[in-house]
Amino acid sequence: MMSVETIEEQIAGLDNVSFAKLRDWFIEVDHARWDKQIEADSNSGKLDFLINVAFAEHQIGK
């Protein structure tokens, strides 16, 4: 596996079009990982407190 430093050097050498493609791909991968983490947290109950807060605020009319 390449080191982060090697990857950074390779990225720094990309032309603008290739860099834009990589950036767009990276953003998509980052969003997909975030979605998986949110789903896992939700399924495990880690986010239940948010539901409770929203319900409590709804009950008092916020």
Nearest to 23 by CA among 14, 32, 34, 35: 14
Residue 45 main-chain phi, psi, to 5 deg: 90, 0
How confident is the model at residue 61, as a pLDDT?
83
The answer on pLDDT for 49 being more than 90 is: yes
> Are the CB atoms for 15 and 23 separated by under 8 Å?
no
Q: What is the pLDDT of residues 5-25, one digit of tens each?
A: 999 999 999 999 999 999 999
What is the rounded average pLDDT for all residues in the chain?
95
| Cα gap 49→28, rounded to integer Å | 28
Domain ranges of the chain: 22-62
The answer on pLDDT for 44 being more than 90 is: yes
